[in-house]
Chain A
Amino acid sequence: GENVEQHPSTLSVQEGDSAVIKCTYSDSASNYFPWYKQELGKGPQLIIDIRSNVGEKKDQRIAVTLNKTAKHFSLHITETQPEDSAVYFCAASLSNTGNQFYFGTGTSLTVIP
């Protein structure tokens, strides 16, 4: 089965700096890679996703890059703000199977004002 690894487990940055979180996956058949943000006491919320036919996707201060050959993908947050502080999870899935999402173990991001 698929195995998703995520690094780092914790990350602290100064407000305004960039944050990068990296994930690797093992199953080359995986073709959908979402990122979720989980704030304290809440469920994960989808913030951005990318499919395997795309190398990069941006949404304002958030971007995700995908390297299919190396089987890794990354989340980039620029101009970080205190409200970006949360736990971020990456995941990998085989689209249209409709079942399993394989999640990373999460990165706790702290943005220091």
Chain B
Amino acid sequence: GAGVSQSPSNKVTEKGKDVELRCDPISGHTALYWYRQRLGQGLEFLIYFQGNSAPDKSGLPSDRFSAERTGESVSTLTIQRTQQEDSAVYLCASSFQRGDEKLFFGSGTQLSVL
């Protein structure tokens, strides 16, 4: 595609519900990142996928968070039993390959947990 696509753009959920966020990276990009951006704050690294290598999950804040990626395409970030502190914008980024540092970001999913 022309750019990184994320869906939904907005998600409102009730505390305790599970949510699934989707990211479609730029075609051919082997590296994919998820970041969390709380209101007025910087970007918090969550997880990184590179090709068929084991993902770097070191940024996931708790075991309620998980992510998967199918090959070198779509990725889903799942948050189980959502809490109010999970409210944030979740950004996905992709890059061409390991060592090509230019990140291309999607527009993010605004998650609101009521």
Contacts and interface: CB of A to CB of B under 8 A. Distances in A.
Interface of A: 6, 32, 34, 36, 41-46, 49, 89, 93, 95-96, 98-106
Interface residues of B, number: 25
Contact of B105 (A44, A98, A104, A105): A44
A49 B102 contact: yes
The 3 closest A-B CB pairs, nearest first, are A43-B105, A98-B98, A105-B42
Interface stretch (B13-21, B43-51, B61-69, B75-83): B43-51
Contact of B43 (A42, A89, A99): A89
Interface of B: 4, 31, 33, 35, 40-43, 45, 48, 50, 56, 91, 93, 97-99, 101-108
Given A103-B43, A106-B41, A98 B103 contact: no
Determine which residue in A42, A96, A98 has the highest number of CB atoms from chain B within 10 A of its CB, and name it.
A98
Contacts of A41: 107
B7 to A, nearest CB: 13
B103 A46 contact: yes
Given A43-B91, A89-B42, A34 B106 contact: no
